[in-house]
């Protein structure tokens, strides 16, 4: 029995048209009059599964007709289809043989929420970042052009209006126009990314979208000219001339790209006819389609921002009472005592902290690259509209812009997800760190992100930032400490990076706190046999592991490192001289991360300091791509970074050390 047939029990019988689609070939065999019913069934399926599993709702509901038309007109076993970002790929998955597993999307061991090359031959790239589809598609088109046997192959890039605002998208357009290669760019214009699209290009597209003169005049001229046989094929040309007159500065034509649109992205017969005509054209063609984010589901249509991503339905609460281990006070107290706890997300703590800073310091400004909601800056934008900057999906510009703000005396806080800051690497180097500009990089999603998978895991920021001289790198153990680090970062003369994960932390109410001092760690729990040097939120798992180890008779210290650069070398030297084992713990790639910082420092200290006898054991994310899972906590378990796994590894190392000493 194959995989599809073994999962038939998950296929709702009430969707007969979708049940017949096991491949795009089945779609092309479906009678045209049934396509509308199929579109509705696809929407119903997406809504049902997304509200159960969580995922991207609005963007997928908005591209149903586009996806149907593309797979109906093109043969993507031979032709090429490249998705930008690919969060809008759910209809594509349903049409390319993955419906039997669609109920597993974003769950552990299930389908990913993005394109994934290991899932299907129809997914050409494992993707999740914006702006790159045009460049990747053009590269494939140029490679195909070298083979005469592939002359009839078509390459299509599906790009959103927000993604088109990325600098790399314009670089791709600029190059595409001079290659002479055939490339179709489908512009899905819904005026949104996660939040409403911003910038001059967005305003330009909006002018095209909303011009009543263009819409009325096109219909009237089409009616008149359509009756004149002598005009014939010149109708499209007449309408293009009209559009140039109504919307000056036609940016696509100026780039040497043929432009068709704007057209209704939900008019399936029109889409089929348009794609059929466009596939006969040579050169680069942009097909501008107007769509509604959340089409077919009223709440998503009326509030596209909230419906961009939907959280999974929470599991039923346990009825039996749960026991909670006693809380541990922060240093300097060595005693463990119970304290009331609260849980809040790091993003919420950041939002509150940056507003408090701005209230006290008029120099503080905030920057995001199209993520005001996700980064927690939406409330800041409401309170300080003139001190908030949403640059769109333009991380390179956002970082260089922050450098300019800092140079002019402002104190910019650039809130950019860890995985997306990678896109602005060169600007971090030149416009910020090389200049010594005082910019605070607030790197949300620094760590594992659960359902979004490898394109969104933030596992490399330490590796690519710590080699730059003069930058300070920090990570808080909870939301309260994050706010203290923001205060430190704004006051510090020079660039600062603060990483923190998705999700929340359990915070002890009114627990004592030591001040944030440059390059100084804090002891959370004393111990004599070994030290766990934890970087950031995994302090919580380290403390729990230490309690488990104490129950086995091991006395293990837990230290909150706070800083990866500069390290607390005085504390590290003391522990290397007084203990056999120092464990590093981080929610980051073990390659080049915090553990590597400690190993490098230990090597240097050992070469010039007497009495160093301790060995460093690195615990971090292993050197492999970490696939999506139902939760961040499950990914931590997979990586051996949960409290039980940490305790087991430390205990094993301590036992091995005891056996070795006994043997001597």
Tell me which of 45, 373, 395, 508 is the catalytic residue: 395
Lowest mean pLDDT among 117-126, 184-193, 443-452: 184-193
- Nearest Cα to Cα of residue 184 among 92, 257, 104, 242: 257
Calculate helix-pair angle for 479-491, 346-360, nearest 10 degrees: 40
Q: Give the model's pLDDT for residue 473.
A: 98
CA distances from 406 to 10, 67, 469, 472, 490 (A): 55, 44, 18, 16, 11
Contact 643, 544 (CB under 8 A): yes
| 324-343 pLDDT per residue, tens | 332 333 443 334 444 556 78
Which of residues 453 and 221 earns the better pLDDT score? 453
Q: Best-predicted range by mean pLDDT among 167-176, 447-456, 590-599?
A: 590-599
pTM above 0.85, yes or no: no
**Alpha-carbon distances of 623 from 468, 593, 619, rounded to whole Å:** 23, 11, 12
For position 5, what pLDDT does the model report?
A: 42
Q: Specify whether the CB–CB gap between 55 and 314 falls below 8 A.
A: no
Give the pLDDT band (50/70/90) at residue 504.
confident
**pLDDT value for 444:** 96
Q: How high is the pLDDT of residue 26? A: 96
Range with the lowest mean pLDDT among 114-118, 302-306, 386-390, 593-597? 302-306
pLDDT above 50 (res 3): no
Q: What is the pLDDT of residue 333?
A: 39
Confidence band (pLDDT; 50, 70, 90) for 298?
A: confident
> Which of the two residues, 619 and 223, has the higher pLDDT score?
619
pLDDT tens digits along 38-64: 999 999 999 999 999 998 898 899 999
Output the pLDDT for position 220: 55
Q: What's the pLDDT score for residue 77?
A: 94
Contacts (Cβ under 8 Å, ≥6 apart) of 95: 21, 23, 24, 27, 67, 68, 71
Average pLDDT in the 110-133 region? 89
Residue 322's contacts (CB-CB under 8 Å, 6 or more residues apart) are: none
pLDDT digits (tens, 9 = 90+) for 304-313: 555 555 666 6
> Over pLDDT 70: what percentage of the chain?
81
The mean pLDDT of the chain is 85
Q: Is 395 a catalytic residue?
A: yes
Q: Which residue among 15, 293, 477, 565 is the active-site one?
A: 293
Residue 222 has pLDDT above 80, yes or no: no
> In this structure, are residues 572 and 511 in contact, taking their beta carbons and an 8 Å threshold?
no
Q: What is the pLDDT of residue 542?
A: 97
Indicate whether 256 pLDDT > 60: yes
Residue 323: Cβ within 10 Å count: 5
For residues 293 and 59, the answer to whether their CB atoms sit within 8 Å is yes
Q: Pick from 556, 555, 573, 562: which is nearest to 534 by CA?
A: 562
The mean per-residue pLDDT over the stretch 500-524 comes to 87
Q: Is the pLDDT reported for residue 483 higher than 90?
A: yes
What's the confidence (pLDDT) of residue 370? Answer: 86
d(Cα 240, Cα 188) in Å, to the nearest integer?
Answer: 20
- Please give the order of strands across the beta sheet that includes 581-589: 522-525, 556-560, 530-534, 581-589, 615-621
Matching residue, tokens 């890039």? 157
Q: In 3-state terms, what secondary structure has residue 154?
A: coil
Q: What are phi and psi of 280, to 5 degrees?
A: -90, -5
The pLDDT of 460-482, averaged and rounded, is 97
Q: Please check whether residue 259 is in contact with residue 204, taking contact to mean a CB–CB distance below 8 angstroms.
A: no
Q: 3-state DSSP call for residue 649?
A: helix
Q: What confidence category does residue 128 fall into, taking pLDDT thresholds of 50, 70 and 90?
A: confident
Q: Which DSSP string do the residues of 527-588 spell out, in sequence order? A: -SSEEEEE-GGGHHHHHHHHHHHHHTT--EEEEE--EEES--HHHHHHHHHH-SEEEEEEEE
**How far is 392 from 375, CA to CA, in rounded Å?**
13
pLDDT tens digits along 344-370: 899 999 999 999 999 999 999 999 998
Predicted local confidence at residue 515, as pLDDT = 93
- State the pLDDT confidence band at 320, using cuts at 50, 70 and 90: very low
Residue 228: pLDDT band with limits 50, 70, 90: low
162 band by pLDDT with thresholds 50, 70 and 90: confident
Question: What is the structure's pLDDT at 252?
Answer: 77
The yes-or-no verdict on residue 321 having pLDDT over 80 is no
Catalytic residue among 423, 445, 525, 547: 423
Q: What is the 3-state secondary structure (H, E, C) of 41-67?
A: HHHHHHHHHHHHHCEECHHHHCCHHHH
Residue range 521-534: mean pLDDT, rounded = 97
Task: Look at residues 550, 565, 561 and name the one whose alpha carbon lies nearest to residue 647.
Answer: 550
Rounded Cα gap, residues 482 and 345, in angstroms: 11
Residue 415 has pLDDT above 80, yes or no: yes
- Closest by alpha carbon to 366, among 331, 402, 327? 402
**Tens-digit pLDDT profile for residues 604-649:** 999 999 889 999 999 999 999 999 999 999 999 999 999 999 999 9
Reading the block at residue 492, the tokens are 């510090």
503 versus 36: the higher-pLDDT residue is 36
Confidence of residue 134 (pLDDT cuts 50, 70, 90): confident
């Amino acid at each position: 029995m194959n995989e599809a047939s073994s999962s038939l029990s998950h296929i709702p019988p009430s969707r007969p048209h979708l049940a017949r689609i096991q491949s795009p070939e089945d779609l092309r065999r479906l009678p045209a009059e049934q396509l509308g019913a199929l579109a509705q069934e696809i929407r119903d399926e997406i809504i049902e599964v997304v509200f159960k599993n969580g995922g991207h709702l609005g963007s997928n509901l908005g591209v149903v007709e586009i996806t149907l038309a593309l797979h109906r007109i093109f043969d993507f076993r031979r032709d090429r289809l490249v998705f930008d970002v690919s969060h809008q790929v759910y209809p594509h998955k349903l049409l390319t043989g993955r419906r039997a597993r669609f109920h597993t999307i974003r769950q552990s061991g299930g389908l990913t929420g993005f394109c994934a090359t290991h899932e299907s031959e129809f997914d050409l790239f494992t993707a999740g970042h914006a702006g790159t589809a045009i460049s990747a598609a053009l590269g494939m088109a140029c490679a195909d052009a070298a083979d005469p046997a592939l002359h009839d192959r078509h390459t299509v890039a599906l790009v959103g209006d927000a993604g088109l605002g990325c600098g790399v998208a314009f670089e791709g357009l600029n190059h595409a126009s001079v290659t002479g290669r055939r490339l179709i760019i489908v512009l899905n214009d819904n005026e949104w990314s996660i939040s409403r699209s911003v910038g001059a290009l967005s305003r330009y597209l909006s002018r095209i979208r909303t011009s009543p003169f263009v819409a009325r005049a096109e219909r009237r001229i089409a009616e008149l000219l359509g009756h004149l046989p002598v005009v014939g094929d010149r109708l499209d040309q007449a309408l293009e001339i009209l559009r140039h007159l109504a919307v000056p500065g036609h940016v696509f034509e100026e780039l040497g790209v043929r432009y068709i649109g704007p057209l209704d992205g939900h008019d399936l017969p029109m889409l089929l006819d348009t794609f059929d005509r466009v596939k006969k054209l040579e050169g680069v063609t942009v097909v501008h389609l107007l769509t509604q984010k959340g089409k077919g589901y009223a709440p998503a249509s009326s509030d596209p921002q909230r419906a961009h991503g939907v959280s999974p339905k929470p599991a039923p609460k346990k009825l039996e009472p749960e026991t909670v281990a006693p809380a541990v006070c922060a240093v300097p107290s060595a005693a463990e005592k119970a304290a009331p706890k609260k849980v809040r997300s790091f993003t919420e703590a950041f939002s509150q902290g940056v507003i408090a800073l701005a209230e006290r310091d008029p120099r503080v400004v905030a920057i995001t690259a199209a993520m005001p909601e996700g980064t927690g800056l939406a409330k800041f934008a409401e309170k300080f509209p003139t001190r908030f900057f949403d640059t769109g999906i333009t991380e390179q510009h956002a970082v260089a812009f922050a450098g300019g703000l800092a140079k002019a005396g402002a104190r910019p806080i650039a809130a950019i997800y860890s995985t997306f800051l990678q896109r602005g690497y060169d600007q971090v180097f030149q416009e910020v760190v090389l200049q010594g500009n005082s910019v605070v990089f607030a790197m949300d999603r620094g760590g594992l992100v659960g359902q979004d998978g490898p394109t969104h895991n933030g596992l490399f920021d330490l590796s690519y930032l710590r080699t730059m001289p003069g930058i300070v790198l920090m990570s808080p153990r909870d939301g309260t400490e994050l706010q203290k680090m923001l205060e430190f970062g704004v006051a510090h003369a020079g660039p600062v990076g603060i990483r923190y994960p998705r999700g929340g932390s359990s915070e002890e109410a009114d627990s004592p706190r030591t001040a944030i001092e440059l390059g100084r760690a804090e002891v959370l729990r004393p111990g004599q046999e070994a030290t766990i040097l934890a970087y950031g939120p995994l302090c919580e798992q380290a403390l729990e592991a230490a309690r488990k180890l104490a129950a086995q008779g091991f006395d293990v210290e837990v230290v909150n490192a706070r800083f990866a650069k500069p390290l607390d070398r005085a504390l590290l030297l003391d522990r290397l001289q007084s203990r056999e084992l120092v464990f590093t713990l981080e929610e980051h790639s073990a390659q080049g991360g915090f553990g590597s910082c400690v190993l490098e420092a230990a090597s240097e200290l050992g070469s010039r300091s007497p009495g160093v006898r301790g060995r460093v054991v690195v615990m971090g994310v292993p050197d492999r791509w970490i696939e999506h899972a139902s939760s961040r906590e499950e990914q931590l378990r997979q990586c051996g970074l949960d409290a039980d796994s940490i305790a087991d590894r430390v205990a094993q190392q301590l036992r091995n050390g005891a056996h070795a000493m006994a043997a001597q």
